[in-house]
Amino acid sequence: MSMRGESRCRCGEEPTGRTQVRYFLTEVMCRLRRGWNPSQLELNLRQADLYFEDVRLHHPLDVMRGSYLMPLVTLRTPSCGWSRTSGCTMCGYFLGSTGQRTTSPEELVEQTRWAIHRLDPRIYHTLVFTSNGSFLDPAEIPDAVRPELLRLLFGAGFRFIVVETRPGFVTSERLDAMLDVVPAIASGRDERSLSFSLGAESCSDFILSACVNKGIRARNLTESADLIRRKGFSLDCYVLLGKPFLSAREDVQDALETIRWAQKMGADYLFVMVTNRVAYSLVDHLISQGRHSLTNLWRAVFLLEMLPEELRRLVQIKGINHAPYPPKDYATTCPVCHDRVVQGINFWNQTGDFKHILELPNCPCRKQFEMGEWAEISDRLLPQRIHAAYGHLAKDLGMASHSIPELPELERLWQEGNS
C-alpha cells in the first residue's frame, strides 16, 4: 500500500506537502537503516561515553573565559525518539545508542557517578552532559531521575552544565523540576547554571522538512527557546552546514540566516555542525550513488569570512575531527591542506582570533572550490531539484513512484517558507 494512501485524512483529502515529505523521508530513512542492529554493540551500561573538545568560553560564569578543553559525557540510553521512528537525513548519533533497550534509573545513576569519578571539577568546571538523543525525553531519562542526576553533578562541584534536547520535550513542568537542583549563577541573579542546546539546523521550514527531515518547524524552536530563557536557563544552538540537496552557496546562505535568527532568539553560543558521512544516513547513500559530495571545509571558512564580527564571535565550527561515533569520512579540503585548515579552524574555536582563518594556506583547492562548487547556479528551482532527487531515491530503494511528494506541493511548501 502506498504511503500516500495510508496517510489520507478521514475526509478523503490528500495530505499536505509537509505531510507528504514527512511520510516519504520517513520511509526512506527506515529502509536505509534496515541493516543496523544495536544488539551487536557491546555496551557497558554502568559507564557513559566520554570525549573532549577544544572550545572557547565567554559566558556566563567568570571562570568561563577563553580556551577550554570541554568534556562531553553522553549517557548510554535509547536513541533519539525521532530516529526510532524516522530520523534526520545526516545524523548518526543513534549508532552509539542502546537502540530501544531501556536504561534503568540505577544504570543512569551509575553512569553519572562514573563520569564524576573521571572528571575533577576543579579542572573541568563546565561539561556537556546529555543522553543519546534528548536529555528531556522521558524515554531516555525518566522525569523523576533527571533532577537526581543534576543534583549529583552539582553536588560533586561542577559549576556549569550543558544538556541537549529536541524542542518538543521542553515543557514548563520539566524545567520547573530542575530549578530546585540547578544553582543560580550568583546570589541575587535569576540566571541558572544550566544551558540547553537545541539542534536548530536551519531557520527555513522548507529546508527543515525537505532536506533535513527534522520533524519540527522553526516556530517550535523559537517557542522552546523563549521558555528556556524565561525560566532563567541559558541557550545554545546548532546550525547545520552541508545540508543535502542544496548548492554550496545556498547552504552557506541558509547557515548565515540561521545564525542571525538564533542570535535573535537569545543563543549565547552558536555551533556550526559540519555534515560528515555517517553510516545508515541519507547523506551516506547519496554519496555512494554519486549524487552528493562530502562537505568541503571551505564552506565553513567562507561562512566565517562572510559573518559580521558581532555574529562571528559567537560561532564555533564543530564536527571536523571529533564525533561521539566516528563517521566514515570527515569533511575535508584536499590532502595537501586538510590538516592545516582543520588546525586553523580549531585555533579559531579556541581563541576567537580571526587571524587563524585569514592566515589559512592559499591552496589551489580553495580556488577550485570557489570556481566550481561555489559558482554553481542551477537553472532549476530548489523544489524541482528535490523532486528529481526524491525520484532517484524511490527508484534506489524500491519505493512506489506515487509515494514521491508531488512537485506542486513541494513548490507550495517552498513558497510558504519564502513568504
C-alpha cell at 242: 552541508
pLDDT score of 88:
96
pLDDT score of 419:
63
pLDDT score of 14:
53
pLDDT score of 381:
96
Lowest-confidence region among 68-82, 95-109, 266-280, 286-300: 95-109
pLDDT score of 417:
76
Read off the pLDDT of each residue in 300-320 and give the average, rounded to a whole number: 97
The 10s digit of each residue's pLDDT in 218-238 is: 999 999 999 999 999 999 999
pLDDT band at 8 (very low <50, low <70, confident <90, very high): very low
pLDDT at 28 over 70: yes
The 10s digit of each residue's pLDDT in 283-298 is: 999 999 999 999 999 9
Distance CA 226, CA 229 (A): 5
pLDDT at 47 over 70: yes
pLDDT score of 98:
82
pLDDT band at 40 (very low <50, low <70, confident <90, very high): low
Of 94 and 285, the one with more pLDDT = 285
Pick from 11-25, 80-94, 138-152, 405-419 the range whose average pLDDT is largest: 138-152
pLDDT score of 187:
60
Read off the pLDDT of each residue in 330-354 and give the average, rounded to a whole number: 97
pLDDT score of 13:
46
pLDDT score of 6:
36
C-alpha cell at 347: 585555533
Mean pLDDT rounded to a whole number for the chain:
92
Which fold would CATH assign to domain 40-277+293-381?
TIM Barrel (3.20.20)
The 10s digit of each residue's pLDDT in 53-87 is: 999 999 888 888 999 999 999 999 998 999 989 99
Share of the chain above pLDDT 90, in %: 83
pLDDT score of 15:
61
Share of the chain above pLDDT 70, in %: 95
